[in-house]
């Protein structure tokens, strides 16, 4: 009976398709099946009685290798299964060790069965490599990657997703897409998710909210995919903070451009009106004795008109469509001149303190424009101190270095004159301060401000290659600092020597002007200068009048921009008949605007409105006497 059992057991042992051996507790091989003999390429006599690790792990191995299942079994007394690489057999095997105990529970033998899993391990390694490659690719993406099913359960995401959202792997695995958004953006994302599963794809912009509450604008896209039979949404999110900043800068640029167009139109119409006021006022002034009370009244009208013309000039400087006249000027002198002006602008309940630098602060500046800047700041300061306060104007020199630029994030390296303008008014919060130089932005009530004042200030300072910044706190007042580059070489300031008297003449002039009020006052001025005037209201009439009087006409004074045929086209037609005919163009637009439009060139005789009689008469003589 025993022999029969042994024969059956031997038959089963030999029939096992995988290498099988029987060991004693000391790793000695007691038996080996035919599969083991084939695998090792040895005979039974070469295997039996040897240590198993010598046969299966190499002849130089003198002790059980690390992780040997036999050693684990000896410690645990239970079946142990491990993956082992067997160098001598050239593969990886799944080794199972099962203990055999006698009637007293003493370990007698251990049955080893090895399964070759080399190909499976290679396949698993390839899958692992592909997954690692995919993970590396996803983690290297500049944005966040996500994949979730129709129920909103996240199936996969990259490390950027965890970094941006500030959620851990476990938290993301338990979250849903809506957990990363707030407010109306949740409705948007929900709608777009539905759109992906219905139409196949969708995209949108929304604010991603992190675990700590940080909000960041993102662009999201999603595409429908089927992964292992599961309908999924696969997509990416890209941080568009920089894009939003650029868009905001573009909007600001467009605002500035809009103001520029507005300024050009205002200049043209407003300067026509001012031409009539200044022209008639000047003619009236010449008819009144200097000791007459009416003389002072007319002078006040002319002074106010000149200020109005200067405001138009300032608006054009802000829109960068006016060439400012830079001359060497001391910032201290500007501050001293402002002392008298501020006394008129600021109420008696506001104390004014002016502290000047002890050294000269020579800058290249348009003094009138800088004075207008300070007047604008003074007006704002007055409005911020309705119950009185203190206003300070100081000047000093500073040198800006790289460290300053890095610390404060504005300016450029160099030496500057700094005009500091401070008030003790109501101040402003950071949100308001960040927008204070925007065109059309105002904190004043409707009808109390245009929102252009500080925008014009900003534009004017930029025109001077300088910069302006402010510091303000609610209830603590406001401080503006204007930085103007110090002149590298100090030049002697020279007063322009121009005649203050009208220069007369007796020639015949053809006057072309479509605005009746301007035409009438210009004609009156020309006749007052002594000229004979022939007038026309547009280009067509001017050509007809010229044809009849071409021998007498010695100069054409023409508005540039007119309905139909413009002034230049009209003059060019006249030149074909009379090549030596001289011309002086007039416009409410500035010369550089007309040059940019291709209407004028740098050699063309031109004078801007509003027309000052003295300057106008001098310019006419310059053209005629060439």
Q: Is the pLDDT of residue 12 over 70?
A: yes
335 pLDDT above the threshold of 70 = yes
Q: What is the pLDDT of residue 2?
A: 42
Decide if 70 is inside a domain. Answer: yes
pLDDT band at 13 (very low <50, low <70, confident <90, very high): confident
The overall average pLDDT reported for the chain is 81
- The verdict on 334 and 478 lying in the same domain is yes
**Beta carbons within 10 angstroms of residue 496's beta carbon:** 5
Structure confidence at residue 447 (pLDDT):
36
Q: What separation in angstroms does the CA of 436 have from each of 409, 419, 450?
A: 18, 19, 12
Q: What is the pLDDT of residue 622?
A: 92
In a domain, 493, yes or no: no
Contact 189, 152 (CB under 8 A): no
Which whole-number Å values give the CA distances from 119 to 126, 392, 568, in the listed order?
Answer: 10, 86, 90
Cα distance between residue 558 and residue 512, in whole Å: 5
> pLDDT: is 425 or 434 the higher one?
425
Q: How far is CA 227 from the centre of its chain?
A: 40
Q: Is residue 315 part of a domain?
A: no
Tell whether 510 and 574 lie within a shared domain.
Answer: yes
Most confident range, picked from 95-104, 205-214, 285-294, 611-620: 205-214
Q: 484 pLDDT exceeds 80?
A: yes
The answer to whether residue 308 sits within a structural domain is no
- 217 in a domain, yes or no? yes
User: Which residue bears the tokens 């209407």?
Assistant: 599
Please choose, from the candidates 459, 460, 466, the residue with its C-alpha nearest in 3D space to the C-alpha of residue 482.
466
Mean pLDDT of 362-383: 85
Report the DSSP pairing between strands 508-512 and 532-536. Answer: parallel
Is the per-residue pLDDT at 460 higher than 70?
yes
Give the strand pairing for 467-472 and 414-423.
Answer: unpaired
pLDDT at 265 over 50: yes
Residue 507 class from Cβ within 10 Å (0-12 exposed, 13-18 middle, 19+ buried)?
middle
Same domain for 462 and 335: yes
Each residue's pLDDT tens digit, 534-582: 999 999 999 999 999 999 999 999 998 888 888 999 999 999 999 999 9
Report the pLDDT value the prediction gives residue 363, as an integer from 0 to 100. 94
Q: Provide the pLDDT for residue 538.
A: 92
Statement to judge: residues 433 and 535 lie in one domain: no
Identify the CATH number of the domain in which residue 568 sits. 3.40.50.2300
Among 81, 116, 151, the domain boundary falls at: 116
Instruction: Collect all residues with Cβ–Cβ distance below 8 Å to 150 and sequence separation of at least 6.
Output: 197, 231, 232, 233
CATH number of 477's domain: 3.30.565.10
Paired tokens of 52 = 């198993």
Domain boundary among 116, 145, 177: 116
pLDDT recorded at residue 69: 78
Residue 322 falls inside a structural domain: no
Distance in angstroms (rounded) separating the CA atoms of residues 146 and 136 = 14
Examine the pLDDT at 221 and tell me if it is beyond 90.
yes
Judged against a pLDDT cut of 80, whether residue 334 lies above it is answered with: yes
> How many helices (H) and strands (E) are present in the chain, helices listed first?
21, 22
Instruction: Note the pLDDT of residue 188.
Output: 93
Tokens matching residue 168: 């851990």
8-12, 117-121, 351-355: which has the minimum mean pLDDT?
A: 8-12
Sheet with 478-485, edge to edge strand ranges? 350-355, 389-400, 414-423, 478-485, 467-472
pLDDT above 70 as % of the chain: 84
Residue 513 pLDDT grade (very low, low, confident, very high; cuts 50, 70, 90) = very high
- Does 70 share its domain with 140? no
Do 477 and 510 share a structural domain? no
| SS3 category, 603 | coil
Dihedral sign from CA coordinates of 367, 373, 377, 379: positive
Please tell me whether residues 107 and 37 are part of one structural domain: yes
**Backbone dihedral region for residue 315 (phi beyond 0: left; psi -120 to 50: alpha; all else: beta):** alpha
Q: Domain count of the chain?
A: 4
Above 60 in pLDDT, residue 5? no
- The per-residue pLDDT for 218 is 94
Same domain, yes or no, for 222 and 271? no
Same structural domain, 463 and 596: no
Verify that 511 and 605 share a domain, yes or no: yes
In a domain, 350, yes or no: yes
Q: Which of 85, 116, 147 is the last residue of a domain?
A: 116
For residues 462 and 256, give the distance between their C-alpha atoms in angstroms, rounded to a whole number.
Answer: 13
pLDDT of residue 84 exceeding 60, the answer is yes
Q: Point out which residues pair with 362 in neighbouring strands.
A: 330
CA 22 and chain centroid, separation? 77
Provide the pLDDT for residue 493: 43
Q: What's the pLDDT score for residue 419?
A: 92
Same domain as 507, residue 579: yes
Alpha carbon distance 273, 261 (integer Å): 19
Q: Where are the alpha helices (DSSP H) in 287-365?
A: 293-318, 331-345
Mean pLDDT across the stretch 285-309?
A: 84
More confident of the two residues 493 and 220: 220
Say how far apart CA 90 and CA 200 lie, in whole Å.
Answer: 50
Interatomic CA distance for residues 277 and 279, integer angstroms: 6
* Domain coverage including residue 234: 131-239
The predicted structure's pLDDT at residue 442: 57
When pLDDT is averaged across residues 505-516 and rounded to a whole number, the result is: 93
Do residues 446 and 435 lie in contact, with contact meaning Cβ atoms separated by under 8 Å?
Answer: no
The residue assigned the tokens 């999110």 is: 237
Token pair recorded at residue 181: 């958004």
65 compared with 148, residue with greater pLDDT: 148
Which segment of 158-167, 228-237, 441-450, 570-579 scores lowest on mean pLDDT? 441-450
Q: Check residue 118 and give its pLDDT.
A: 78
Phi, psi of 231 (to 5 degrees): -70, 125
pTM for the predicted model, two decimal places: 0.43
**Domain identity same for 188 and 235:** yes
Using CA atoms, how far residue 258 sits from 250, 261, 265, 359, 416, in Å, is: 12, 5, 11, 41, 31
Instruction: Give the closest residue to 150 by CA, choosing from 180, 200, 194.
Output: 194
Tokens of 185: 């953006």
Task: Provide mean pLDDT across the span 599-604.
Answer: 71
DSSP 528-573: HHT-EEEEESSHHHHHHHHHHHTTTEEEEEEESS-SSS-HHHHHHH
CATH number (domain holding residue 148):
3.30.450.20
Are 231 and 150 within 8 A, CB to CB? yes
Q: What contacts 82, CB < 8 A, 6 or more positions away?
A: 67, 69, 72, 94, 95
Nearest CA to 65 out of 98, 95, 38 is that of: 95
The answer to whether residue 603 is domain-embedded is yes
pLDDT of res. 87: 63
């Amino acid at each position: 009976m025993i022999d029969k059992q042994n024969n059956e057991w031997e038959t089963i042992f030999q029939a096992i398709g995988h290498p099988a051996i029987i060991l004693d507790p000391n790793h000695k091989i007691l038996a080996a099946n035919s599969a083991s003999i084939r695998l090792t390429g040895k005979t039974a006599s070469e295997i039996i009685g040897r240590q198993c690790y010598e046969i299966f792990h190499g002849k130089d191995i003198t002790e059980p290798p690390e992780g040997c299942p036999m050693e684990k079994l000896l410690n645990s007394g239970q079946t142990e299964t491990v993956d082992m690489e067997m160098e001598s057999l050239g593969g990886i095997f799944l080794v199972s060790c099962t203990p055999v105990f006698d009637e007293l529970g003493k370990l007698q033998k251990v049955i080893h069965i090895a399964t070759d899993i080399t190909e499976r391990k290679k396949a698993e390694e390839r899958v692992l490599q592909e997954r690692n490659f995919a993970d590396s690719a996803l983690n290297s993406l500049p944005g966040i990657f996500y994949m979730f099913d129709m129920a909103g359960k996240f199936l996969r995401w990259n490390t950027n997703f965890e970094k941006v959202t500030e959620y851990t792997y476990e938290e993301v695995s338990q979250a849903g897409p809506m957990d990363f958004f707030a407010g109306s953006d949740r409705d948007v994302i929900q709608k777009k998710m539905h759109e992906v599963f219905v139409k196949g794809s969708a995209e949108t912009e929304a604010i991603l909210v992190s675990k700590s509450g940080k909000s960041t604008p993102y662009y999201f896209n999603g595409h429908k995919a089927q992964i292992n039979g599961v309908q999924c949404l696969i997509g990416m999110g890209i941080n568009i903070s920089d894009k939003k900043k650029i868009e905001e800068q573009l909007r600001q640029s467009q605002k500035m451009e809009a103001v520029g167009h507005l300024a050009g139109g205002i200049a043209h119409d407003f300067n026509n009106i001012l031409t009539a006021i200044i022209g008639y006022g000047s003619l009236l002034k010449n008819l009144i004795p200097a000791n007459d009370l009416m003389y002072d009244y007319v002078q006040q009208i002319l002074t106010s008109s000149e200020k109005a013309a200067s405001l138009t000039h300032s608006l054009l400087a802000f829109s960068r469509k006016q060439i400012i006249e830079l001359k060497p000027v001391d910032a201290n002198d500007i501050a001293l001149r402002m002392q008298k002006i501020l006394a008129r602008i600021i109420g008696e309940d506001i104390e004014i303190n002016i502290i000047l630098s002890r050294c000269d602060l020579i800058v290249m500046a348009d003094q009138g424009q800088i004075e207008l800047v300070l007047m604008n700041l003074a007006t704002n300061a007055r409005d911020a101190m309705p119950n009185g306060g203190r206003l300070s104007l100081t000047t000093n020199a500073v040198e800006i270095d790289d460290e300053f630029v890095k610390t404060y994030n504005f300016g450029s390296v160099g030496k500057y004159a700094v005009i500091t303008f401070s008030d003790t008014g109501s101040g402003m919060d950071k949100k308001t301060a960040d927008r204070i130089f925007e065109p059309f932005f105002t904190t004043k009530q409707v009808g109390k401000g245009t929102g252009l004042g500080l925008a014009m200030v900003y534009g004017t300072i930029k025109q001077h290659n300088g910069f302006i910044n402010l510091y303000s706190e609610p209830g603590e007042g406001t401080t503006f600092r204007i930085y103007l580059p110090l002149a590298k070489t100090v030049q002697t300031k020279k007063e322009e020597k121009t005649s203050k008297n009208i220069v007369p003449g007796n020639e015949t002039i053809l006057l072309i002007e479509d605005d009746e009020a301007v035409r009438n006052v210009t004609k009156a001025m020309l006749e007052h200068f002594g000229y004979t005037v022939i007038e026309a209201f547009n280009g067509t009439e001017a050509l007809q009048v010229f044809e009849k009087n071409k021998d007498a006409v010695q100069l054409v004074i023409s508005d540039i921009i007119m309905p139909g045929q413009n002034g230049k086209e009209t003059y060019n037609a006249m030149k074909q008949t009379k090549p030596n005919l001289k011309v002086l163009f007039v416009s409410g637009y500035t010369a550089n605007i007309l040059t940019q439009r291709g209407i004028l060139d740098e050699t063309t005789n031109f004078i801007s409105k509003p027309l000052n009689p003295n300057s106008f008469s001098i310019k006419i003589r310059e053209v005629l006497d060439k």
